[in-house]
Homo-oligomer: A and B are copies of this chain.
Amino acid sequence: MIAQVSLARRAFAEFLATALLVAAVVGSGIAAQTLSPNDVGLQLLENTIATAGALFAIIVVFAPISGSHLNPVVTIVDCAIGRRSWSEAIAYIPAQVAGAIAGAIVANVMFDRAAIETSTKVREGSNIYFAEVVATFGLVLVIFLLVRTGRAMESVVVVPAAVAGYITAAYWFTSSTSFANPAVTIGRAFSDTFAGIAPASVPPFIIAQIIGAALALAAVVVLTTQAKEEVVSE
């Protein structure tokens, strides 16, 4: 059993890690928008590269402390497959959401904006929601296939590099630019800048993310559960 204090500390790690991630996503979006005003693609490329660098560093650094979830759907799937108790989710998820909001505030302040803003960037459309299902499906699939095949244990850089690589791609190949994370989605509603999302768009995004995570969990189970006859014959 894990002690009370220790869980508090791990929740603090999730808070700090998610704050750094959202500060990186929002802050680099503001810088990109300001410095490359004439090409939205270039802005997204700059935002992508900054996000990938931050993800790699943050995941590798906090993994030995909290597991580096930074993401409620990752925490929930981790509980669903029995690797973590549901009581931990109750500590992790609020820490992630609070961290995400704190990260947006830090980014706003660094770039001399009002500390708390409300994004006006409406992100809607059934194709966008479908993209968000795909984005989260892919992210959860990547993480939990690595975990369930044991590959995540073979090198400490595998999960950070795979997640950074996947999100690099997903910022581009999904029309939603791949939020894929309910906590980060909430945090990004607090900055009216490049990476923002209007509050009205947050609920459908989170619903899409939950659907994507559930589908990924199903695919992971199908791909990694050995049928009895397989075990025998292989």
Q: Using CB atoms and an 8 Å cutoff, list the residues of chain A in contact with chain B.
A: 1-3, 5-6, 9, 12-13, 16, 20, 23-28, 31-32, 34-36, 38-57, 60-65, 106-107, 109-112, 125, 127, 130-131, 134, 138, 141-142, 145-146, 149-151, 154-158, 161-176, 219, 222-224, 227, 229-230, 232-234
- With contacts A9-B222, A223-B12, A227-B5 taken as known, whether A32 is within 8 angstroms of B110 at the C-beta atoms is no
Q: What is the minimal beta-carbon distance from A11 to any residue of chain B, in angstroms?
A: 11
Q: A41-B42, A110-B130, A165-B52 are in contact. Are A9 and B223 (CB under 8 A)?
A: yes
- Known A-B contacts A127-B112, A174-B27; A57 and B157 likewise in contact (beta carbons under 8 Å): no
Q: How many copies does the complex hold?
A: 4
Would you call B111 and A145 a contact (CB within 8 A)? Answer: no
Q: Which residues of B contact A50 (CB under 8 A)?
A: 48, 168-169, 171-173
Known: A127-B109, A173-B50. A233 touches B134 (CB 8 A): no
Tell whether, in the assembled complex, residue A166 and residue B62 are in contact, meaning their CB atoms are under 8 Å apart: no
With the chains together, A3 CA to B162 CA distance in Å? 30
Residue of B nearest to A6 (CB): B230
Q: CB-nearest residue of chain B relative to A48?
A: B49
Partner of A54, one of B110, B173, B227: B173
Pick from B54, B157, B165: contact of A53, CB below 8 A: B165
Q: List 21 A-B contacts (CB under 8 A).
A: A1-B234, A6-B233, A24-B173, A27-B174, A31-B175, A36-B39, A39-B39, A45-B46, A45-B49, A49-B168, A50-B169, A51-B169, A53-B165, A54-B173, A57-B163, A57-B165, A57-B166, A61-B142, A64-B150, A111-B175, A164-B165
